Structure 1
Amino acid sequence: MIFAAGVVLFSEGNQHYGEKFALSSLLPAGLAVEATAESERVIAVTARSGARARPCPLCRRVSHRIHSRYLRRVSDLPCIGMKVELHLVARRSICDAPLCRRRIFAERFDDCVVAERSRRTSRLECIVHHLGLALGGRPAASFAKRLMVPVNNDTLLRVVRR
């Protein structure tokens, strides 16, 4: 697999297994790719939000002052038989509203990308939910293992109950 300039070409030796396509087409909408890396079984994509600023969750005032950044590791749908791990660069911002109780807040991504405090993207969460509904605990866990979705039977049942 070759990563170059936002384009991916799947190849092994002289054999090509796919065509070129934009890496951003693999990611949820609203993310901008910063870097990619791969190991034998995992594709790691470092991405950030495409939005320039986010509002404070309490007072809804938009802040452009960045306090710091941190990495969120989130699982995504597998690609070409490899696990995909998103490293989302989340910003901590300073709220300038004088009456707001929250001085520093973390950037929240859209719910269509990843829910608050979630370890899976929304599209992977949807697949986990439907697997749990259709097959139940252990059968869904074994089928998910074949699909390269890392969940166990308790997680599947918890997602269905939620």
Structure 2
Amino acid sequence: MYAVLKICSKHAQCPKCKHVSSRQHSQYARKVDDLPVSGHSVHITVLLHKWFCGNKDCKIKVFTERLNWLSPSARKTNRLENLIRHVGFTNNCLAAEKICRKMRISISHDAILYRIKKEEPVKPRECPFRGH
């Protein structure tokens, strides 16, 4: 399933200096995957803008629009990434790949393992019954 999503913003905030800009530079397209729907893969083409930063002290002259549901330069939405991580942490990477393929999520076991290794290790909590 393919969809095109056009973002029609009138302004955007610079990710570096937080200055709000209303001067558009250009438009570009990003292709991302989202959660499957009714057993079909979902591919979205997102049409975004690039903006000029109006702050003279900012080192970034042109920046891209940011979306809260999509990380910068990511090829998968945040909710799809969270699902992949969850499946990866609850299974070994080969089983996680099979589960993802059954759900129509195209990903390799190496990519799942990369996501798991990238996660920050969770510090174990201290047991209140120990003598520490």
- Report the TM range for the smaller structure's normalisation: 0.7 to 0.9
Q: Identify the match of residue 107 of structure 2 among 138, 151, 154.
A: 151
- TM-score w.r.t. the length of structure 1 is 0.69
Structure 1 counterpart of 2:108, one-letter code: N
**Alignment partner, residue 4 of structure 2:** 46
Alignment of 1:103 onto 2:61: yes
1:50-100 deviation digits (Å, cap 9, x = unpaired): 653211112111001111010000000111221111111111001111222
- TM-score w.r.t. the length of structure 2 is 0.84
- Partners in 2 of 1:161 and 1:54 — Cα distance? 33
- Partners in 1 of 2:8 and 2:93 — Cα distance? 37
What stretches of structure 2 of length at least 5 have no aligned partner?
Answer: 119-132
> Rg: which structure is higher?
2
Structure number having the greater strand percentage: 1
What stretches of structure 1 of length at least 5 have no aligned partner?
Answer: 1-42
SS at 1:89 equivalent: strand
**Alignment partner, residue 121 of structure 2:** none
Alignment of 1:137 onto 2:81: no
- Partners in 2 of 1:95 and 1:132 — Cα distance? 39
Root-mean-square deviation (Å): 1.3
Q: Identify the match of residue 118 of structure 1 among 54, 74, 77.
A: 74
**Alignment partner, residue 79 of structure 1:** 37
